[in-house]
Structure 1
Amino acid sequence: MNEYEALYAEICDQTEAGSLCWKQIPRHANSEIILNVEEVLRQYEATFHRHGQAYKLLLLDKRHKEIDFLFRKFELREPELHVIHEGELLTSLNQLHIDPSRLGALLGVVEPQSNLTRGLLGKPQASAATRQA
């Protein structure tokens, strides 16, 4: 496992354990950092602590292109995960480092846990005490 995969695994573990709290933010937020911000469908943010530092994670659900197949258009979507520190992009965990299906799986875990989706589905937000119990 390389260092990108180890970082990704730690993010996934904390997300599944509930210690990372993801919130959906406006899709055009962070436009000074994100390439092709017009392709962002949804954007999630969490604060990630590692080695005594706090990092901002951005998980993007992006529409990359459409393809025509048998007279139908299909949209290709690829998630991206970016690590920001003090307003600077440190690294991006995308298809160059992590299999896109694994990034898609993280998106599938984050979406129902996010602040807006929990409100829509009627699930109460867990308090910090509940998550630690």
Structure 2
Amino acid sequence: MNKYLDLVEDILERTYKGSLHWQQVANDKHAQQISEPWNVIRQFEATFPFNGEPATLLCVEKRVYIYEYLFPHEDRMCELLILSGGEIIKTVGAPFLPWYWLSKFGDIIAKVCEVPAVPKLA
């Protein structure tokens, strides 16, 4: 397994066990750290120990436009950002993990937080 899969596996395990306390935050809260903040659908944050230091873990769900097929379409994808002191210290997303795998990450966190799911995009 690569280091990104190990990190995501650790995050998912902590999420399911309840040791990560995710909360949904306003879409513009971390706009300066997020690339393409205008595409954000929703975002969640949790306190996360990274390399022995306290950090903030963000799950940012964005719109993504897929042009790989005969019929292009809009979907969603998540990226995970680890912040320390307001600065990004690690980004986990495409191309390190496939978009179709990351597309469901926001729903997993929303389910744990008991937040309504986002409707399927057209």
TM-score (norm 1): 0.75
Unaligned runs of 5+ in 2: 117-122
Opposite residue 74 of structure 2, the aligned amino acid is E
How far off is 1:64 after superposition?
A: 2.2
Opposite residue 101 of structure 2, the aligned amino acid is R
Q: Secondary structure at the match of 1:63?
A: strand
Q: Secondary structure at the match of 2:75?
A: strand
Partner of 1:105: 104
Q: Deviations over 1:8-66 (max 9, x none)?
A: 11111100111101100001111110011000010100111144311111101101237
TM-score (norm 2): 0.81
Partner of 2:64: 64
Q: Structure 1 stretch 50-59 or stretch 96-105: which is displaced more?
A: 96-105
User: Partners in 1 of 2:64 and 2:111 — Cα distance?
Assistant: 23
How many residues are aligned here? 115
Q: Structure 1 stretch 3-12 or stretch 101-110: which is displaced more?
A: 101-110
User: Partners in 2 of 1:17 and 1:98 — Cα distance?
Assistant: 23
How far off is 1:108 after superposition?
A: 2.1
Report which of the two structures shows the higher radius of gyration computed on alpha carbons. Answer: 1
Partner of 2:4: 4
Alignment map for 1:9-20 (pairs within 5 Å): 9-20=9-20
Unaligned runs of 5+ in 1: 121-133
User: Partners in 2 of 1:46 and 1:84 — Cα distance?
Assistant: 10
User: Partners in 1 of 2:104 and 2:66 — Cα distance?
Assistant: 21
User: Partners in 1 of 2:9 and 2:50 — Cα distance?
Assistant: 13
Q: Deviations over 1:95-133 (max 9, x none)?
A: 211232332333222012226x2xx7xxxxxxxxxxxxx
Identity in percent: 28
How far off is 1:76 after superposition?
A: 2.2
Alignment map for 1:20-99 (pairs within 5 Å): 20-65=20-65, 69=71, 74-99=73-98
Partner of 2:119: none
Bigger share in helix = 1
